[in-house]
Amino acid sequence: MSLLSKFRPAPSPPMDLDPEKTGRTWLITGATNGIGRELARMVAAPGRRMILPARSLERAEELASELRESGAEVDIVKLNLAHLSSVHEAAAAVRALGTDIDVMVNNAGAVTGRRVLTDDGFERILATNFLAPFAFTNLLADLVTGRIVITGSHSHKKGHVDIGDPHFEHRKWSFPVAYSQSKLADQMWATALQKRLDDAGRGVSVLTAHPGWAHTNIQNASGVPPVDTALDFVSAQFAGTSREGAMPLLEAPAGYYPALTYLGPDGWLDMWGAPGVHEASALSLSEKATDRVWELGVRETGTDLPF
């Protein structure tokens, strides 16, 4: 329990998570750790079908066993966002399940303490936070009937997506710059995706949600053990819990907000508190700019919407 927990009562989840009202089938990426795991636990209920794409099948099976005790039906799919080949294989495996998806939550991502390239030649933070989820969603978009939720961050307001050098081949890499680029790309992707879904008459809403400051394994990203230990200790004392961080991601599909709502904690500095509505940056809503980010996603992943 953190030092501040007694001063910050945990927000209660929405009262009504009836599968008939909020969607029977949910797909949640990144459900084996932290915020994604807490989200999956809150969603699990009799009558709910849950699809869990995960890098670690062992951790996914452990979680699935727990969720099945809540009465949920659970399917596990192998997915490694650092490899486009895995994204395609996972999408094919989901399609083979033969079900529509009421709610798709793109929660999985990664951080690194140095510039790392994936096998596809992508800077890893951009790959796992934007490019791979972009491709995965495109490959499954025709199955989604209700809502798509993308995990955001206030860091998008300080970000810049370098269309000409997204992988830091010619500019200096730093974690803040790489992470904020990936999160601005996510926010812009949401805007561009909503426009295309509307143009296709799909009736699907895209929302973004940020967790605030929550204690998860994202703190262990510097690559320097003493620094990671110190950051983890501070986060454990002052950050919110994973459950608190998951609340905006749960509220987004369950709270019946309009498309392109950006949700996050409404407490001090937007770090803790009950889910509230926030303003995304003006850049992330610009049609011209977001179209360019969409084109970047298509160019790098070779995927686009199927309609």
**pLDDT higher than threshold 90 for residue 255:** no
Cα–chain center distance at 65:
23
Whole-angstrom distance, CA of residue 257 vs CA of residue 184: 21
Q: Over 80: is that where the pLDDT of 290 sits?
A: yes
Over residues 234-245, the pLDDT tens digits come to: 444 444 576 788
* Alpha-carbon gap, residue 91 to 246, rounded angstroms: 24
pLDDT higher than threshold 80 for residue 136: yes
Read off the pLDDT band of 273 (50, 70, 90): confident
Residue 109, pLDDT > 60, answer yes
Categorize the per-residue pLDDT at 159 as very low, low, confident or very high, splitting at 50, 70 and 90. very high
How many Cα atoms occupy the beta-carbon half-sphere of 15 within 13 Å? Answer: 0
Catalytic site positions: 179
Average pLDDT, the chain: 89
- Asked if the model's pLDDT at residue 137 lies above 90, the reply is yes
User: Looking at the predicted structure, is the pLDDT value of residue 62 above 80?
Assistant: yes
